[in-house]
Amino acid sequence: EALIKAYLRSSQYAERGLFSAWLMKIAYRVFIDSHRKQKQQQELPLEKAITLQGNSKSDDAFRYQELHTALATLSETMRTSILLYYMQGYQIKEIAEITENSEDAIKKQLSRGRQELKHILER
């Protein structure tokens, strides 16, 4: 979806920065839009999800569900920074360009996000 949007908007690319950063901004916005749409859809209640996970006898599945639930409690900017850094492997500088934030802001979001996740998962 992001590549299609980039292709359709290629005439809007101003050669002020890296093409890859421009493309990642589009991908980031598509990600945010997709996440918002998913959030609006009715989700499975946590108790039911835990029951289903327990029936599968899979600790990994349960841990994944716990992490997913914990990530959902973070602010959108914090969650995005965490996902881009840890799941997608982006560098802090790249995340700053994509999200149009400073590198220091990204470092703070990552630090606070880790602290919040630790607090939530240790309960």
What is the separation of C-alpha 123 from the centre of its chain, rounded to a whole number of angstroms? 23
Q: Which domain covers residue 22, as residue numbers? A: 1-42
Look at residue 84 and tell me if it is in a domain: no
Look at residue 30 and tell me if it is in a domain: yes
Q: In the structure, what pLDDT confidence band is assigned to residue 106 with cuts at 50, 70 and 90?
A: very high
Look at residue 26 and tell me if it is in a domain: yes
Nearest to 111 by CA among 88, 89, 86: 86
Counting the structural domains of the chain, the total is 1
Look at residue 116 and tell me if it is in a domain: no
Mean pLDDT of 88-114: 90
Look at residue 38 and tell me if it is in a domain: yes
Look at residue 31 and tell me if it is in a domain: yes
Q: What is the pLDDT of residue 39?
A: 61
Token pair for 50: 């835990």
Token pair for 98: 């994509």
Mean pLDDT of 88-109: 90
Look at residue 36 and tell me if it is in a domain: yes
User: What is the tens place of the pLDDT at every residue in 29-73?
Assistant: 888 777 766 665 545 454 455 454 455 546 667 777 788 888 888
Look at residue 1 and tell me if it is in a domain: yes
